[in-house]
Amino acid sequence: MNRNAPIGVFDSGVGGLTVAREIMRQIPNESIIYFGDTARVPYGSKSKETIITYSRQIVEFLLTKQVKAVVVGCNTASAFALETLQKEFDIPMIGVVKPGAKVAAETTVNHRVGIIGTLGTVNSDIYKNYIHELNGGIEVFSKACPLFAPLVEEGWLDDPITYEVATRYLNDLMKHEIDTLVLGCTHYPLIRKTVQKVMGDSVNLVNPAYETAISLRTALEEANLTNSGTEVKHKFYVSDGAEKFKSFANTILPCEVEETKDINIELY
């Protein structure tokens, strides 16, 4: 395995850019190959079988770019497909759920944690299960917020409609007096301000991306796969709408995205 090879990161769309951004900040000497499945977004309402099929195709595509590790920058795919991918592919594969659950368990003081995510992630109970493995005394309250990812894909980040939708979704969670809320979908850090406004300043919002980047760094170190000093170059691919994606990525990443390419993911 070539230690100077790039890291593959994927998501259903722009959400995984919040994970790529954190990897760029925490491990700046690694190159990223990003894939956003914009033709098939959203993932959150699809079946486990479909998400496994999509994720497998994406990993096959990333392997054609010689990636040395893959970060599943999507909670839904981490919940449904990570275990299968780890069995099928022989490179380090990191998801976002375990790191997020760890931070939540370490952050809560009153032992009342909220999880927001897609229908798939919330119904899988994966956050609850991981948090309970770490501390069985923590009460976990979950709420699926299926309209959030489309609102983010539309770019309505700081918008009265998004605020209205958030108020409706989060009302239930507020009644449970949680002190920690996991942004359990990689799209949600992009509407963090809106979520914080609704929840109030006393609730800590957990973005699993930071801890995911740290887990990736550890996995690369353990496998002797850290970049030994070649030039860093990030590349971006989507399954539809490359220009729109590129403009969006340029508003949130710390690097300039000069080009995004459209590929036909169904061929992999």
Binding site for ligand DGL (CB under 6 A): 11-12, 15, 41-44, 74-76, 118, 121, 149, 185-187
**Min. distance of Cβ 15 from ligand DGL in angstroms?**
3
Q: What is the 3-state secondary structure (H, E, C) of 154-207?
A: CCCCCCHHHHHHHHHHHHHHHHCCCCEEEECCCCHHHHHHHHHHHHCCCCEEEC
Is 255 a known active-site residue?
no
Q: Which is nearer to ligand DGL, 12 or 239 (CB)?
A: 12
Rounded to the nearest 10 degrees, how much is the dihedral formed by the CA atoms of 56, 118, 190, 193? -160
Active-site pick, 71, 185, 191, 198:
185
CB of 87 to ligand DGL, least distance (A): 21
Per annotation, catalytic residue among 74, 97, 178, 225: 74
Residue 145 bears catalytic tag = no
Residue 9: how many CB atoms within 10 A of its CB?
A: 29
Query: Residue 117 forms beta bridges with which residues?
Result: 144
CB of 250 to ligand DGL, least distance (A): 19
Which two three-digit tokens encode residue 235?
A: 């590349």
- The answer to whether the beta carbons of residues 206 and 96 sit under 8 Å apart is no
Q: How far apart are CA 45 and CA 155, in angstroms?
A: 20
The separation between the first and the last C-alpha atoms of the chain, rounded to the nearest angstrom, is 22
Q: Which is nearer to ligand DGL, 76 or 239 (CB)?
A: 76
Nearer to ligand DGL, 11 or 30 (CB): 11
The residue sitting closest to ligand DGL, measured at its beta carbon, is 44
Nearest residue (CB) to ligand DGL, 57 versus 75? 75
Q: Given the complex with ligand DGL, which of 173 and 225 has the nearer CB atom? A: 173
- Least separation in angstroms between residue 218's CB and ligand DGL is 22
List helix spans (H) across the chain: 17-26, 48-64, 75-80, 82-88, 97-107, 119-124, 126-134, 148-153, 160-175, 192-199, 209-222, 242-252
Q: Is 2 helix (H, G, I), strand (E, B) or coil?
A: coil
The nearest distance, CB 229 to ligand DGL, in angstroms, is: 32
Residues forming the active site? 74, 185
